Structure 1
Amino acid sequence: MATWKPAYLIHGDDHGRIAERRAGLRARAEAESGAGGLEVIEGDESTPENVGLALSAMTFAIGRRFVVVDGAERWRQADVEAHVVPALANLAPDTTVAFFAREDGRAKIPAALPKAVRKAGGDVVEQATVKTRELPRWVQAEAQRLGIELELPAAQVLVAQVGDRQQRLLRELEKLALERGPGAKLIAEDVTDAAADSAEIQVWGLVDALVARDRRTVFRSFLELREQGEAVGRLIPLMARRLREVLAIADRLEAGESPAQVKASAKGSPWALDRRIKEARGTDPEALRKALETLADLELQTRGIGDLSEDTLAIRALGRMAAAH
């Protein structure tokens, strides 16, 4: 059974990580005390006054009582001092309260809240987004926490492949830790071979649709990537790299090489190479070159030139590429 502190405060501007921590704590709390032992205070009900009343109320529940509170970033200092601080000072010994605050801009937790949580014997954890230039060092530290070691170039490669989302980086590190085992030391080549970029995998499907002139799938794949937060500026080089791979194979086949010769010298899994070869045999190398030129133009246009949005420019470019193949 878990050892619980009286109070927790998880705050910061890494909203995704905060959501993960909240979900994890709720799952552990329900596993220990059941749904009846968990109370969630959120939305308009999440006020210092309501929280203070809830923490001070008597309960007839058996076992530990858990109170999860969202929205502490909206509270005022005076209200926290008047209602939450006294409640934390007199918290029942079988109660655990967890405050979650998704900070952004001016929305910050009042200084009285972390002070009161610590005074009650609780933990305060800040989940802050890491600046892009600091991500490789952060990746190294997280890898060490998971029991593996990444050289700095390996950490830089991971950030380049996966992007700057810390949750994604953590998932890739967890996969590497499971695959390689405790104590593994990874260099850049190891990460290049092992770390799969989920966005890149989806881009493969988008490029497959481009080569097949399947406009409907092209647009759907692009919009799905955008909905999950992928930037157009990041998708363009991913698409270009995948198109160049198909073009390189198409050029070799046009020059007289056999598929077996291509497979013998090209990198990648046999399944992926078979697919690239099939695509290359069914397309025109000149059309692929035109598609790459269109991507290069799109990259320039999305740097603030013109009045159209990035999405409009990208959809128009994808439509031309799909028609050109």
Structure 2
Amino acid sequence: MELKPEQLVAQLRTGGFRPAFLIAGPEPLRVLEAADAVRVAARQEGFTEREVYDAEGQREPDWSAMAASFRAPSLFASRRLIELRLATGKPGKEGAQVITEFCEDPPSDVSLLVTAGDWSRQHGGKWSEAIARIGHVAVAWAVKPHELTGWIEQRLRTKGLKADHAAVQILTDRVEGNLLAAAQEIDKLTLLAEEGEVLDAARMESLVADAARFDVFRVIDAAMNGQSAQVARMLANLRAEGEAVPALLGMVIMELQRGAALARVTERGGNLAAEFKAQRVWETKQPMYKRALQRHGAARWDVFVAEAGRVDRIAKGRPRIGVEPVDPWLALERLLLAVADGKAVPLLGTP
């Protein structure tokens, strides 16, 4: 039976540990938290060793090494949690066979945790069905707009917070569907709210005032996640609030350069995990970058960086007349929309 990540977490708290787990879906926060719950439960069950196999882009993990690890005895007689991270949610023929064979006769001292950032009804197969037979499958589908209020209410209750409907709606409007931003705001509320306080609209406004502004970090996240409509809306809010394009470009350029560096490593089959570490990309944000890397190759990222320089030139009053628009906000919007969906929005040209 397919579970929601939150249902899996609840089962683990009551002793529902199994030999295998599959946690997948496009909502990285829900995937990450459910996977963390499995790791915590594994430690409580005595699985003190942990091995990670990471499928990066087009590069597959060493399936032979993984199969051998399943059969090998644990060091110091300890139990092991073996993690397989599939960016695309597809292990391929060889990987599917390795997973299926493990599930047919799982060793008592090994548990398997498979996580995936992408998932759809077409991703599953005999390998995921094999996991379901001996373990749990949890899918983190994206929270729909009409579901977000309920998700936030549940999150508040989990953190011991109380809020009326109007207050919850204010927080819902602030985070614009970004679950990670919602989680961060709720964590902040746990520190700021008085014990036993029921948050009303006015109190919520005062506590999350800093979140009322759609800052550049969220604009970039939306672009990386392919959320074109949110990019346009957030930029419109920033412009209405009197922000200046040059004040935003430093972070935009840094993120685009980071994307270009990651894309070059991906194209040459390098160690993406090591590059994430070198670029100081947190694990919670890695799925976002991986999705963006699937949309654009290294050459495209280099164009994005060059375009950012062009936007900077426009913002500083030095556009090339007849070639570039004189409105820096329009130039920035076209750039970030191209990052979100290169097919839908033409770039301004080559430098």
TM-score interval (norm. to shorter) = 0.5 to 0.7
AA at the equivalent of 2:220? E
Cα deviation, 1:96-121, whole Å, max 9, x if unaligned, reads: 21100112568x5324344333432x
- Cα 1:104–1:154, aligned 2, differ >3 Å: closer, same or farther? same
**1:227 pairs with 220, 233, 253, which one?**
220
CA distance in 1, matches of 2:195, 2:126: 41
1:99 aligns with 2:92: no
Deviations 1:154-200 (A, max 9, x none): 22210212221011111212222343367543222222111254582
In structure 1, what is the Cα distance between the partners aligned to 2:178 and 2:109? Answer: 37
- Name 2:91's counterpart in structure 1: 75
The structure-2 alpha-carbon separation of the partners of 1:105 and 1:111, relative to structure 1 and needing over 3 Å to count, comes to closer
- 1:57 alignment partner, one of 51, 72, 86: 72
Amino acid across the alignment from 1:234: M
Match of 2:185 among 172, 175, 186: 172
Any gaps of 5 or more consecutive residues in structure 1?
Answer: 204-221, 244-306, 317-325
Letter in 2 for 1:70: R
Aligned residue identity for 2:89? E
Give the number of the structure whose residues are more often helix, by fraction.
Answer: 1
Whole-angstrom distance in 2 between the partners of 1:181 and 1:100 = 38
Task: After TM superposition, give the deviation of residue 42 of structure 1 in Å.
Answer: 1.5
Indicate yes or no: 2:133 matched with 1:119. Answer: yes
Q: Which has the higher contact order (CA 8 A, sep 6+)?
A: 2
- Tell me the SS of whatever aligns to 2:103: helix
% identical aligned pairs:
20
Counterpart amino acid of 2:50?
Answer: L
CA distance in 1, matches of 2:236, 2:77: 57
TM-score of the pair, normalised by structure 2: 0.52
Q: TM-score, normalised by structure 1?
A: 0.56
Distance 1:149 1:62, change over 3 A: same
For 1:198 and 1:5, how far apart are their aligned partners in 2? 40
Q: Would you say the 8 A contact 2:63–2:94 is kept in 1?
A: no
* Alpha-carbon displacement from aligned partner over 1:184-226 (angstroms, at most 9, x marks no partner): 43222222111254582x85xxxxxxxxxxxxxxxxxx6x664
Q: Is the 8 A contact 2:22 2:137 kept in 1?
A: yes
- Number of residue pairs the alignment of both structures matches: 227
Q: Secondary structure at the match of 1:74?
A: coil
3-state SS of 2:89 partner: helix
In structure 1, what residue type is equivalent to 2:193? R
CA contact (8 A) 2:74 2:109 kept: no
Preserved contact between residue 219 and residue 235 of structure 2 (Cα < 8 Å): no
Query: Does 2:327 match 1:313?
Result: no
RMSD: 4.0
> What one-letter code is carried by the residue in structure 1 that aligns with 2:52?
V
For the residue of structure 1 that corresponds to 2:137, the secondary structure is strand
SS at match of 2:189: helix
1:39 partnered with 2:51: yes
Q: Distance in 1 between matches of 2:21 and 2:194?
A: 32
Task: Report the Cα offset of residue 89 of structure 1.
Answer: 3.3
Q: What does residue range 1-325 of structure 1 map to in structure 2 within 5 Å?
A: 5-19=18-32, 21-22=34-35, 37-43=49-55, 44-46=59-61, 51-71=66-86, 73-75=89-91, 80=96, 82-104=97-119, 108-120=122-134, 122-180=135-193, 184-198=197-211, 200=213, 203=215, 226-229=219-222, 231-241=231-241, 313=330, 315=332
- The 8 Å contact of residues 77 and 112 in structure 1, kept in 2 or not, is answered as no
Partner-residue secondary structure (3-state), 1:96:
strand
CA change 1:30–1:93 in 2 (3 A) is closer
Contact 1:150 1:186 in 2 (8 A): yes
CA distance in 2, matches of 1:184, 1:127: 31
Seen in structure 2, the aligned counterparts of structure 1 residues 90 and 33 have a Cα distance that, compared at 3 Å, is closer
Cα 1:96–1:196 change in 2 (3 A) is farther
**Structure 1 contact 65–95 (Cα < 8 Å) conserved:** yes
Pair 130,13 (structure 1): closer, same or farther in 2 beyond 3 Å: same
What is the distance in 2 between the residues matched to 1:180 and 1:163?
Answer: 22
Q: Larger Rg: 1 or 2?
A: 1
CA distance in 2, matches of 1:9, 1:18: 10
Distance 1:195 1:13 in 2: 27
Distance 2:103 2:198 in 1: 45
Q: CA deviation at 1:67?
A: 0.6
